[in-house]
Structure 1
Amino acid sequence: MVEAEASGEGNGSSSILSQKRPRCSSISPGDGAKRVGTEDKRLSTTLLDLSILDCPICFEAFTIPIFQCDNGHLTCSSCCPKLSDKCPSCSSPIGRIRCKAMESVLESIFIPCPNAKFGCTKKVSYGKESTHEKECTFSLCSCPVLDCNYTGSYKDLYDHYKFIHLDCYVDIVLNTFSFGNSFRAYMNISDKILLRLDHTRSLLFVVQCFREPYGVYVTVRCIAPSAPEVGEFSYHISYTSVDEHTMIYKSPVVKRIREVSFQTPQENSMLLIPLGCLNGDSLEMDICIKKKTNQE
């Protein structure tokens, strides 16, 4: 049984929602007349079975629009094309008639954020938990240091790395950068990652390299959720090869991640250093990370 919250004054079936008695305003003696109680527009409810809010075909949470056949069988918009618009229960056409009643129920159900136990107090529409979790500042981020299993919010991760994995104040200074100012990055390709700290926003940035048969890819990521308060950033990398050929790569966005992956990303937004331009197993680059405009 899951506690949920429903907005509005709909008369839901008692088999689905068990409503608590609405609260009424108190009546003080001497008023001369009995005041009519004011119902709370937001009623606390108990949802008996969450599966009624899931598509019976794919078992994923319903999202609007929801479709029904002439006999009332439901399906989500993603499943309709896969079913060739034919109801699997009764073979009636499905995909043209919206189930407005179920859509209204869905819009009225709010559940706690999956990160409520870590401090998030927001309630989100059922089925949109994963969308909110990507932007929730309480979402857990994993420490990128090998063999470290620490997870915490992005700000806690910053403190964890700063005080657990850096040996002294000098290390902290050497591993800190300033937005808009280039810093020299030295790394071994076999190490795969290089970490840098931003103390103004308590953020941890990671420079990653991926060796492939035709060269080495280099990219910059920020270990944080996609929350607006984290901010948006761009970066550019400058690399000079052994034959004094300089390669410059500019990216309009620094991708935010919650866990570092050592698999080569399937994307084109990276610097490619061809094998013939490498100087052994080491990389020496100038990197500049900038805050997007309209940010303090």
Structure 2
Amino acid sequence: MAGLVTSTRQQSPSNGNQISSSSRSLGGENDDTNCSAKLLDLEALNCPICCVPLTSNIFQCDNGHIACPTCCNKLRNKCPSCALPIGLIRCRAMERVIKAVIVPCPNSMSGCIKKFSYGNELTHEKECSFSRCYCPARNCNYTGSYKDLYSHFKTHNSERGYSYKFLFGEFAEVYFVLTEYTSVVMRENEAGLLFVVQCFSEPYGVYVTVSCIAPSADEIGEFSCFISTTAVNYSIPHNIMTFKSPKVMKIRKLSSETPEKDFFLVPSFFFPGRQALKLRICISKLEQE
């Protein structure tokens, strides 16, 4: 750990790589003087094998090489540096260092004031209301907090596919021309939340997903979704298909990858020879527990 931190007996403002912690006297009691330390090598706090930030339960071999629990399991408890057993002895000193290193939320520049032990800020970032979201409009590179994004998105209201409005608990009709675009955006009238309906065309049908453009913050709430569509060929028995998603996913950026779960598959025979798809969608707000 030599060269990891430098300490001074003074209080300095925290920024970037600044760490604030309380020092201890020789008797083990908390000293009244705060200790300010500047981190010189942030990567030293990551697992040297997988490069993921270290948290609790750090292990070492007899030669002092360290690894996270995941890597110990993958390596079958064999140190990659010296081949000695690893995964049985905890590196308590490094665990104390990690616990003592306090870092700000990655969104601190956007307004978040929360701080965490090193590594835990990444978990918080997914739920932070200041996390940056990407505009779902085509060819738009805007990013910002979800509230700023919603204000920005009003500039796209006149563009095709971005003018759908709805109310929670009520059905809205969405019309896709699959040769022109693969996503439309629905804006809730009262709360202003943005939901994206995406269609992914495959040889055997179209995958349909509904997502909310927002971080996983509690203040946004949770939602369910009901989708139905009617076959173009009315000779098909039971020509109405329905799908219910008990929980709408929150995403910060659209993906172009065909989904592997939480999708509504509309088979090709429902609209033979057509490149258009009409959906009836009802998004409801779930009650908070």
Offset from partner CA, 1:226-281 (integer Å, 9 cap, x none) = 111111111010111123401010001111111112221122x2111111101611
Residue in structure 1 matching 2:277, options 268, 278, 283: 283
Alpha-carbon shift at residue 224 of structure 1 (Å): 0.8
The alignment of Structure 1 onto Structure 2 pairs a total of residues equal to: 266
> Structure 1 CA distance, aligned partners of 2:11 and 2:2?
16
> Structure 1 CA distance, aligned partners of 2:231 and 2:270?
5
1:166 aligns with 2:160: no
Give the secondary structure class of the aligned counterpart of 2:166. coil
Is the alpha carbon distance of 1:14 and 1:173 closer, same or farther for their aligned partners in structure 2, counting shifts above 3 Å? Answer: closer
Is the alpha carbon distance of 1:293 and 1:20 closer, same or farther for their aligned partners in structure 2, counting shifts above 3 Å? Answer: same
> Structure 1 CA distance, aligned partners of 2:161 and 2:190?
14
Aligned to 2:56: 64
> Structure 1 CA distance, aligned partners of 2:53 and 2:192?
35
Residue in structure 2 matching 1:241, options 211, 231, 237: 231
Q: Is the 8 A contact 2:223 2:247 kept in 1?
A: yes
> Structure 1 CA distance, aligned partners of 2:140 and 2:161?
19
1:220 aligns with 2:214: no
Which is further off, 220-229 or 270-279? Answer: 270-279
Offset from partner CA, 1:183-227 (integer Å, 9 cap, x none) = 111221231111111243331111111100001111111111111
> Structure 1 CA distance, aligned partners of 2:279 and 2:211?
16
Alpha-carbon shift at residue 19 of structure 1 (Å): 4.0
Q: Is the 8 A contact 2:222 2:288 kept in 1?
A: no
Aligned to 2:164: 175
Structure 1 alignment gaps of length 5 or more:
1-11, 24-37
Give the secondary structure class of the aligned counterpart of 2:150. helix
> Structure 1 CA distance, aligned partners of 2:115 and 2:44?
19
Normalized against structure 2, the TM-score is what?
Answer: 0.83
Q: Is the 8 A contact 2:162 2:184 kept in 1?
A: no
Return the letter of the residue paired with 2:279. Answer: M
Aligned to 1:105: 97
Residue in structure 1 matching 2:115, options 113, 120, 123: 123
> Structure 1 CA distance, aligned partners of 2:248 and 2:263?
11
Q: Is the 8 A contact 2:200 2:208 kept in 1?
A: yes
Aligned to 2:5: 16
1:120-199 paired onto structure 2 within 5 Å: 120-162=112-154, 164-167=155-158, 175-190=164-179, 191-199=181-189
Aligned to 2:219: 229
Q: Is the 8 A contact 2:214 2:250 kept in 1?
A: yes
Is the alpha carbon distance of 1:68 and 1:277 closer, same or farther for their aligned partners in structure 2, counting shifts above 3 Å? Answer: same
1:205 aligns with 2:195: yes
Is the alpha carbon distance of 1:66 and 1:159 closer, same or farther for their aligned partners in structure 2, counting shifts above 3 Å? Answer: same
Alpha-carbon shift at residue 106 of structure 1 (Å): 0.8
Give the secondary structure class of the aligned counterpart of 1:78. helix
> Structure 1 CA distance, aligned partners of 2:6 and 2:151?
44
Normalized against structure 1, the TM-score is what?
Answer: 0.81
Identity of aligned residues (%): 49
Which is further off, 83-92 or 247-256? Answer: 83-92
Poorly superposed stretches of 4+, deviation over 6 Å: none
Return the letter of the residue paired with 2:57. Answer: P
Is the alpha carbon distance of 1:89 and 1:215 closer, same or farther for their aligned partners in structure 2, counting shifts above 3 Å? Answer: closer
Aligned to 1:75: 67
> Structure 2 CA distance, aligned partners of 1:285 and 1:51?
49
Offset from partner CA, 1:21-59 (integer Å, 9 cap, x none) = 479xxxxxxxxxxxxxx9558644322222321222233
> Structure 2 CA distance, aligned partners of 1:166 and 1:174?
5
What RMSD in Å do the two structures reach over aligned CA positions? 2.7
Give the secondary structure class of the aligned counterpart of 1:264. coil
> Structure 2 CA distance, aligned partners of 1:77 and 1:272?
39
Structure whose CA Rg is larger: 1
Aligned to 1:88: 80
Structure 2 alignment gaps of length 5 or more:
13-29
1:252 aligns with 2:242: no
